[in-house]
A and B are shown apart, each in its own frame.
Chain A
Amino acid sequence: MRVLVLAATLAALSAGAALAAGALEAVPEAPAGSTEVKIAKMKFATPEVRIKAGSAVTWTNTEALPHNVHFKPGGSVDKELEGPMLRSNQTYSVKFNTPGTYDYICTPHPFMKGKVVVE
């Protein structure tokens, strides 16, 4: 019953070190020159960012409530990428290798929406 049990979901998510090649690539460190997106007050502070192919976006959660970034299959996203839940001041970086528009949400807060446009 993983869908509802939040504690179990969180545990499962934090264990997952997502590493994937392809259009989206989770990278362990924020690469130099990566675009910053802050998370605060149940929002992605810059819900739409534009970057060049091959560069990265780094998300930083600035509040106590855990959030993540979650790319669901569809549109430019060929393979699901569900980032770990970020505690306060934790970061997560994704490198975008292919041009396109990448919509994402926060898994437990699907009303939190963002977009990365890769040129």
Chain B
Amino acid sequence: MTHAYAKLRHAFRYGSTAIGAATLAATLAAGSVVAAEQGAAAAKQAAADLGAGKADDPMVLKAPAPNARRVYVYDPKHFAAISQSFIIDGDAARVVGMADGGFLSNTVVASDGSFFGHANTVFSRIARGKRTDYVELLDARTAEPIADIELPNAPRFLVGTYPWMTALTPNNKTLLFYQFSPQPAVGVVDLAGKKFDRMIEVPDCYHIFPSSNDTFFMHCRDGSLLKVSMGADGKSQTKRTEIFHKENEYLINHPAYSPKNGRLVWPTYTGKIFQVDLSSQEAKFLPAIEAFTDAEKKEGWAPGGWQQVAYHRESDRIFLLGDQRAASKHKAPSRFLFVIDAKTGKRISKLELRHEIDSVGVSQDAKPQLYALSTGAKTLFIFDPETGKEVSSVNQLGAGPQVITTSDM
């Protein structure tokens, strides 16, 4: 560690925030105005400390207490064996910590923000050898592990990260994860008891949306939802809903779901948005919304990206990434964001993001921040969704960041 680096770390301590090597690099890079300002302030503080004869006192920092604007950005690094999560303070637009992950990890964040974690996969020889799947929970301020629970028989579904393939129950005591092969199943991990509980065999249904501490819903191949009631006796009951979409209506892999009000917001390739209210522990299908007019669809407007949709619970608003694109280009990024009233289906605004955005997220506070992640630019852009103004950004977020996770505290 150089003297200058030590001084900088020392300065950061007074800001009472954690810093990793990547933060420092990001801070020193000229790419972001905010980062440059942060770097200048740190340098000024360090110089003042030096002038005042203060001794340098290196130490391990803690991240500030999590709030609604704590953002986790997961970088699967384009299918690399080792991945990373960046812990970002949305208010300061600053990386306040990092966590390492294995192959195609799934991030979870506690509903009160107190911890976060991953369902992980590692191998004894980096990308080969004995495979170990496990759930790791980390403290939200220190990023120290608080639980490490092994999953027997390597049951994780290794797939490009779909947030709702792994989920916490509302009380944060159970983690549920999806198994694809050799048969569809949902694994139950007892976080309170720190042990793997059991696999629940399910029909050919996908994704996991917990609606209560012992109930979750899935989306099935036949176009229905499946309600799974986890019995305390270890015996689960399943029940299918009506078929709610046609076979040629393709629902995307990244629906938005609010566990607090049970709202499931599920767009199709063409921008038709299905909404389901799961709050009563039964699926209530709300009227479908069309995000684009027929004229717009003719001009090629359609949703696209990775996490293409976000939902803000308090304002009951939907944020959808969209752009003009050729058919089957639904994974290409979008340059526009469509803000839609979830109740009426009316478009509130169309915001030009001025970047190629792959994933979108929103904080759940009263005046939310909008998070727009560019996998190509490896940058998280933070917007005011009211005005559409870009307020800050955080760059150098790994190799291919794709997933934004926030907590509805």
Contacts and interface: CB of A to CB of B under 8 A. Distances in A.
B129 to A, nearest CB: 12
Contacts of A4: 79, 104, 158-159
B231 interface: no
Interface string A82-119: 00000000000000000000000101001101000000
A62 to B, nearest CB: 20
A72 B182 contact: yes
Contact of B204 (A3, A5, A72, A111): A111
B147 interface: no
Contact of B180 (A5, A70, A110, A113): A110
B181 interface: yes
A1 interface: yes
B103 interface: yes
B204 A107 contact: no
Contacts of A111: 184, 203-204, 221
A110 B159 contact: no
Contacts of B127: 1
Interface string A1-21: 101110000000000000000
User: What class of interface size applies to chain A in its complex with B?
Assistant: 10 to 19
Nearest to B206: A111
B174 to A, nearest CB: 24
Given A111-B204, A111-B221, A1 B103 contact: yes
A116 B340 CA distance: 52
Contact of B184 (A1, A3, A70, A110): A110
Contacts of B43: none
Contacts, number: 27
B81 interface: yes
B104 A110 contact: no
Interface string A55-89: 00000000000000010100000000000000000
Which of B81, B181, B182, B203 has its CB near the most chain A CB atoms (within 10 A)? B182
Given A3-B158, A4-B158, A4-B159, A110 B182 contact: yes
A65 to B, nearest CB: 15
A27 B79 CA distance: 37
B124 interface: no
Nearest to A2: B128
Interface string B157-170: 01100000000000
Nearest to B221: A111
Which of B79, B81, B103, B181 has its CB near the most chain A CB atoms (within 10 A)? B181
Ordered nearest first, which 7 A-B pairs have the shortest CB separation?
A111-B204, A3-B158, A110-B181, A4-B158, A72-B182, A110-B183, A110-B182
Interface of B: 79, 81, 103-104, 127, 158-159, 180-184, 203-204, 221
Interface of A: 1, 3-5, 70, 72, 105, 107, 110-111, 113
Given A1-B127, A1-B158, A111-B203, 4 more contacts: A3-B158, A4-B79, A111-B184, A113-B183
